[in-house]
A and B are shown apart, each in its own frame.
Chain A
Amino acid sequence: MEFFQSIDWMQMLRCFVVGGLICIIGQILIDKTKLTPARILVIFVTTGAILGGLGIYKYLIDFAGCGATVPLTGFGANLAKGAIQEVQNSGLLGAFIGGVKMSAGGIAAAVFFGYIASLIAKPKIKKQ
């Protein structure tokens, strides 16, 4: 209960709107170009990494919180942020360590849950 009182609803609204807008960009790419889902994901993650590397993306994160970190651009920005932080700590070696270290949780979770899901689930036809 105390937690719900602590939620910043304006922050939540900014998160919703920014996250939604980033998805709209993706939807326009899907409908207007003939890009496959894999290409769209790559465009988002690379754009995020570049914006993160240039130090621009963190302003969007400050503004929208998870509205900026949950979309794949945030995943890309996180990779870039990790690389830069680690370079600051350990030099050139950090360029190779930092990115994956920073996003290790997400990658490991996707691989692990993917494996578990394949053990349990059976492919099914789309009903539509």
Chain B
Amino acid sequence: MKHVGTQTILFDAPPTILETSSIVGPKESQGPLAKYFDQCLDDEFWGEKTWEKAESKIIKENVNGVINKSGIAATDIDYCFAGDLLNQCISSSFGLREINVPFFGIFGACSTFVESLCLGAVFIEGGAANNVLCATSSHFCSAEKQFRFPLELGNQRPPSAQWTVTGSGAAIITKQGTGPFITCITPGKIVDMGIKDANNMGAAMAPAALDTLITHFRDTGRKPSYYDAIITGDLGHIGKEILTELAETKGYNIKANYNDCGVLIFDKEKQDTHSGGSGCACCGAVFSGYFFRQLKEKKINRILLIATGALMNSTSSQQGETIPGIAHAIAIEN
């Protein structure tokens, strides 16, 4: 493991992503990627009494799912990194309170999934662990309740608004394996370009994604064409367009191989999701469900996954604060 450039860490013995698992809610199950997810729910409550309990159940069942799929015993998992959007990360800590694995609760807003992969990979590479579990979840209803308005309120969503993905993504990374490998990571800086509109998250997060993207290329000497796919977490339609254009002004043309999980997960026209998906599970479930499979089947061999997060809450919005963005990049290669 060595530090290159300003922010990037290159791995000498790259850890393998052994297995992933994904669960999504009913709306995501009607989207274009439905067939790739491990489990599609037909009820947001999933038999629970509250949205928060439902979200905890989603992450719990998804973690059980990935452990089963991977074939390794839960007792062989050394550490767990997990987080979500709810205050004090209650979905993860409540959902995973019975799993009996040392637990690090992390918060990176919607960038949590890649943040957990970064930390897990460093733990493995540093010799602190053999198997690490990374998980995240989000739920449309619990997120609306916490960040916006009650569900029954008759308000209109502006065209720039994004739809929080209900679901979870989980991955197990391991020391010895046959790939796909996590070859390097570029943890991002907090970037705030002064956007205040909580209904335009894509625009708030795009500068952070740009910063991480350019830093990654500069640190590694790689070019956009090195990757088969460059994927951001949840910039949505507006953020995707902004990132593409801004990257071009900086001399990086990513048009050919760039896409965004928030754009992919919903059908904008049919599902009326405005600017696309968002939330921890957007990146988590789309990577775990779709891109990991593509990597496994060698349909793509090199992917740069950049999860983006908006580090705000309803108090900071009400106090008129701008929205700081963050983006963590991880390169996964066969």
- Residues on A facing B (Cβ under 8 Å): 30-31, 34, 37, 121, 123-126, 128
Contacts of A123 in B (CB 8 A): 51, 141, 150-152
Q: How far is the CB of A3 from chain B (nearest CB, A)?
A: 31
In the complex with contacts A34-B197, A37-B155, A125-B140 CB distance below 8 A: yes
Q: Report the number of A-B residue pairs with Cβ-Cβ less than 8 Å.
A: 23
Residues 173 to 199 of chain B near chain A (Cβ within 8 Å): 197, 199
Residues 12 to 66 of chain B near chain A (Cβ within 8 Å): 26-27, 44, 51
Is B156 close to A, CB under 8 A?
yes
Q: Which residue of A lies closest to B43 (CB)?
A: A125
Q: Is the CB of A125 within 8 A of B44?
A: yes
19 residue pairs bridging A and B, Cβ less than 8 Å apart: A30-B156, A31-B158, A34-B197, A34-B199, A37-B155, A121-B152, A123-B51, A123-B141, A123-B150, A123-B151, A124-B151, A124-B152, A125-B26, A125-B27, A125-B44, A125-B140, A125-B141, A126-B151, A128-B272
Contacts of B73 in A (CB 8 A): none
Contacts of B272 in A (CB 8 A): 128
Contacts of B226 in A (CB 8 A): none
Q: Is the CB of B149 within 8 A of A37?
A: yes
Most buried by B among A37, A121, A126: A126
For B124-155 the 0/1 string (1 means CB < 8 A from A) is: 00000000000000001100000001111101
Q: Is the CB of A37 within 8 A of B153?
A: yes
Q: How far is the CB of A124 from chain B (nearest CB, A)?
A: 7
Q: Which residue of B lies closest to A123 (CB)?
A: B151
Q: How far is the CB of B152 from chain A (nearest CB, A)?
A: 7
Q: Please, how many angstroms separate the alpha-carbon atoms of A30 and B27 in the complex?
A: 27
Q: Which of A30, A34, A37, A125 contacts B151 (CB 8 A)?
A: A125
Q: Which residue of A lies closest to B199 (CB)?
A: A34
Q: Please, how many angstroms separate the alpha-carbon atoms of A37 and B151 in the complex?
A: 14
